[in-house]
Chain A
Amino acid sequence: KQEVTQIPAALSVPEGENLVLNCSFTDSAIYNLQWFRQDPGKGLTSLLLIQSSQREQTSGRLNASLDKSSGRSTLYIAASQPGDSATYLCAVYRANSKLTFGKGITLSVRP
């Protein structure tokens, strides 16, 4: 059974800091991995999708990496801003596009 872990559950950083959010998964036989952002009480916003054949994806200040052999992914956020405050969820794709999610990391960026 695939399990996805995100530690720590919460993180608070000062504005401007570069930070790394970690995600680990137990079964390396995944198709893709996706990072989402969720604002309080809202749905999911897709940030980055890494296909199983790729090692990383970049979008603006965000960079996500994937190491299937070690069962790890990281989301790097450069020059953090208060608007980045949200919960960040990692999810891995199993067969037939079913997703297994971690519990998320709640990020607070202090002005």
Chain B
Amino acid sequence: ETGVTQSPTHLIKTRGQQVTLRCSSQSGHNTVSWYQQALGQGPQFIFQYYREEENGRGNFPPRFSGLQFPNYSSELNVNALELDDSALYLCASSLVRAGGGETQYFGPGTRLLVL
């Protein structure tokens, strides 16, 4: 059973650019969630995808968007990058059944630096 993987591990962009981060879910999982962790803070929920549909969103602007593919891999896209977007971006996958609260398994993260 493979774990959650993310690519790239590190990324440097300049303000105004666009970035795409990738995540490969753990085998058999149907849900992927993305979190942003700024330095010294806890991770903040960005959004979740369940069976390729967005299934909830945190307090992030529309320039943060995502996709989930049939093989349950996922992308996080951020347009018009701002300096405050510099953070560790974490992907987590889970197998959601009725009732909720299933354990999420986290990837190692992608560290994004916006200059």
Contact = CB atoms under 8 A, between A and B. Distances in A.
Interface of A: 4, 31-32, 34, 36, 41-44, 46, 49, 51-52, 89, 91, 93-104
B104 A97 contact: yes
A89 B55 CA distance: 24
B48 A98 contact: yes
Nearest to B91: A43
Interface residues of B, number: 30
Contact of A44 (B31, B40, B50, B90): B90
B103 A34 contact: yes
Contacts of B33: 97-99
Contact of B41 (A96, A99, A103): A103
Interface of B: 31, 33, 35, 40-45, 48, 50, 55-56, 88, 90, 92, 94, 96, 99-109, 111
A96 B108 contact: no
Contact of B45 (A44, A98, A102, A104): A98
A43 B106 contact: yes
B42 A46 contact: no
Contact of B101 (A43, A93, A102, A103): A93
A97 B90 contact: no
19 contacts: A31-B99, A32-B101, A41-B111, A42-B109, A43-B108, A43-B109, A89-B43, A94-B100, A96-B31, A96-B50, A96-B96, A96-B100, A97-B48, A98-B45, A98-B48, A99-B92, A101-B43, A103-B40, A103-B41
